[in-house]
């Protein structure tokens, strides 16, 4: 899409520079993975010097466990501080945990990785968690289920933001056929997640997106 639109990507982490994708060792993830599996992502900013943002996408991953063990709420604090300036806020997989901790999901519908369902939803007692969803949209907040579901959510997001023709062009270039039904979710069955939404979910309805990035 950046070939068609004037977009600027900022990658934000605790420190500027290369950030390893390999999680710190723990009981759940012992230090027995070959170093060959480790890659690095170059962070352009830290949470203190991040520029103004239109769209913030919060990924998930096993590194969330390390942050929780250290009681590190830096990501949630950043979301809470920046949310009012954002046009859109998106999360993929267990990234929804940080949105829940920040409080921006209170009273809204959201979903997350079904394999980590119980680990995430405990952080959002006032969130209407949707157990059977590929992704959800509530106002300007989008949340996806695990990993590859983020691609389907992103397609739907680009479709709404830039139109079907441009979104399809990107997918065709990638040779990726996205699932377009947000309720398609066989993994809620695989991971035996309850098929019923939390009680508040029945009372909360999705709002139309009001802001668009030009």
Instruction: Please name the residue that has the structure tokens 């890659």.
Output: 39
CATH code for the domain in which residue 66 is found: 3.40.50.880
Q: Is residue 158 part of a domain?
A: yes
pTM of the model as a whole: 0.88
Q: Is residue 31 part of a domain?
A: no
pLDDT in tens, 13-30: 999 999 988 776 655 555
Q: Is residue 22 part of a domain?
A: no
Q: Is residue 118 part of a domain?
A: yes
Q: Is residue 34 part of a domain?
A: no
What count of Cα atoms within 13 Å lies in the side-chain half-sphere of residue 170? 19
- Looking at the structure of the chain, the number of domains it has is 1
pLDDT in tens, 174-201: 999 999 999 999 999 999 998 777 655 4
pLDDT in tens, 48-81: 999 999 999 999 988 888 899 999 999 999 999 9
| Domain containing residue 178 | 12-16+39-203
What are the residues whose beta carbons fall under 8 Å from the beta carbon of 5, sequence distance 6 or more? 162
What is the per-residue burial (b if ≥16 Cβ within 10 Å, else e) of 169-180?
Answer: bbbeeeeeebbe
Q: Is residue 53 part of a domain?
A: yes
Q: Is residue 182 part of a domain?
A: yes
Q: Is residue 138 part of a domain?
A: yes
């Amino acid at each position: 899409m950046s070939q068609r639109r004037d977009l600027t990507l900022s990658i934000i982490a605790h420190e500027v520079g290369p950030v390893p994708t390999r999680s710190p060792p723990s009981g759940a993830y012992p230090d027995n993975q070959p170093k060959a599996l480790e890659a690095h992502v170059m962070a352009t900013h830290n949470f203190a010097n991040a520029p103004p943002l239109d769209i913030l996408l919060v990924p998930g991953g096993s590194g969330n466990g390390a942050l929780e063990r250290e009681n590190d709420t830096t990501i949630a604090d950043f979301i809470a501080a920046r949310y009012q300036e954002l046009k859109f806020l998106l999360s993929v997989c267990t990234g929804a945990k940080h949105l829940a901790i920040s409080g921006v999901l209170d009273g809204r519908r959201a979903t997350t990785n079904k394999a980590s369902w119980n680990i995430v939803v405990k952080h959002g007692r006032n969130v209407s968690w949707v157990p059977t969803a590929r992704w959800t949209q509530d106002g300007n907040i989008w949340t996806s289920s695990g990993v590859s579901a983020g691609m389907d959510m992103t397609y739907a997001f680009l479709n709404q933001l830039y139109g079907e023709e441009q979104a399809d062009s990107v997918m065709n270039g990638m040779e990726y056929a996205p699932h377009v039904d947000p309720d398609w979710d066989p993994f809620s069955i695989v991971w035996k997640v309850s098929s019923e939404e939390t009680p508040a979910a029945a009372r909360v309805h999705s709002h139309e997106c009001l802001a668009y990035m030009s």
